[in-house]
Amino acid sequence: MRNIIITGAAGGLGQAMVKKFVDQGDFVFAADLHLDRVLELQNQYSNQVKAIVLDVTNEDSVREALQQVASRGNVDVLVNNAGLQYREKIENFPTEQWDLLINVMLTGSFLMTKHAIPYMKEQQYGRIVNISSVHGEMATPEKVAYVAAKHGVIGLTRVTALEGAEFGITANAVLPGPVKTPLLVKQIQDLEGKGMTEAEALAEIMYPKQAMKRFISTEEIADGVYFLSSNEASGITGENLNISGGM
Ligand code: NAD
């Protein structure tokens, strides 16, 4: 039974990932800022999920979370998934929001990787899956911190892949397109607050360029994350897996 740690596990994508790994027989440390919501997952999958409080921006919190995983055995799989969004034009973008988004999504992924790698090197095995976004390869106005963080996550992934290869560690990024989670619903509401109709907000978020013209399901993202952690993906590292409906 492998040990998996998923950050932001209480969120829309995180919950689907927890379910996927549990269904495949793994043991999941469901880590999030909000203990109450990960405790619900622990109650739901009592023998296979341990809820832990984690702030990915706090190095002590990161170290303790990984120690908890290691106390059960190997640190087999790390999924860096915690994230959040904020929209504003650059000149009005609050610097505190820039710091927060970069800290959670980029620095948080770095800290988790930094403290997971010593265990993975020791084991000579590790799978790191970083949740970037289609915004890791493209841009949208008013998402400067998100776009910068998600581009950065791809750079982090590539360096991790290079340094990890000789120790049996792979690192890959998943680039989701639009998935209807709380993060996306809030964006729709924000745009409605700025005078857009829901249809206009959806058109902006979904992009005319998306081939499938539909939301991606949380399960479709979780399937991709699981695949990259599996033996079938043992030859894949430093790559981006877009799960975006063809954006
Ligand atoms: P969500 O808001 O449902 O979940 C995000 C989770 O991250 C929340 O549970 C939150 O508590 C947690 N979190 C925030 N700050 C944290 C911190 N400091 N430490 C630990 N946990 C923290 O969002 P989601 O849609 O499930 O997003 C998950 C990931 O997928 C994010 O990285 C997001 O950028 C990415 N993503 C989402 C979409 C989408 O359309 N929903 C598209 C592309 C990428």
pLDDT at 209 over 80: no
Query: Could you tell me the pLDDT band of residue 147, with boundaries at 50, 70 and 90?
Result: very high
212 or 57, which is more confident? 57
What does the block give as tokens for 237?
């590292």
SS3 content of the chain, % helix, strand, coil (to 5): 50, 15, 30
Say if ligand 1 is within 6 A of residue 33 CB. Answer: yes
- 141 CB contacts (<8 Å, ≥6 apart)? 89
Q: At 32, is the secondary structure helix, strand, or coil?
A: strand
pLDDT, tens digit, for every residue of 176-194? 998 988 777 888 888 899 9
CA atoms lying within 13 Å on the CB side of residue 192: 10
pLDDT, tens digit, for every residue of 20-41? 999 999 999 999 998 999 999 9
- 132 CB contacts (<8 Å, ≥6 apart)? 150, 151, 153, 154, 157, 173, 174, 175, 240
Q: How far is 27 from 4, CA to CA, in rounded Å?
A: 6
Question: 84: CA distance to ligand 1 center in Å?
Answer: 5
pLDDT, tens digit, for every residue of 60-101? 999 999 999 999 999 999 999 999 999 999 999 999 999 999
pLDDT mean across residues, the chain:
95
Span 3-177+217-243: which CATH code?
A: 3.40.50.720
pTM over 0.90: yes
Query: Could you tell me the pLDDT band of residue 206, with boundaries at 50, 70 and 90?
Result: confident
Question: 8: CA distance to ligand 1 center in Å?
Answer: 6
pLDDT, tens digit, for every residue of 125-145? 999 999 999 999 999 899 999
> Do 133 and 176 touch, CB atoms closer than 8 A?
yes
User: In this predicted structure, what is the pLDDT of residue 201?
Assistant: 83
Say if ligand 1 is within 6 A of residue 184 CB. Answer: yes
pLDDT at 56 over 70: yes
Say if ligand 1 is within 6 A of residue 149 CB. Answer: no
If you count them, how many residues does the chain have? 247
Say if ligand 1 is within 6 A of residue 185 CB. Answer: no
Question: 233: CA distance to ligand 1 center in Å?
Answer: 24
Domain ranges of the chain: 3-177+217-243
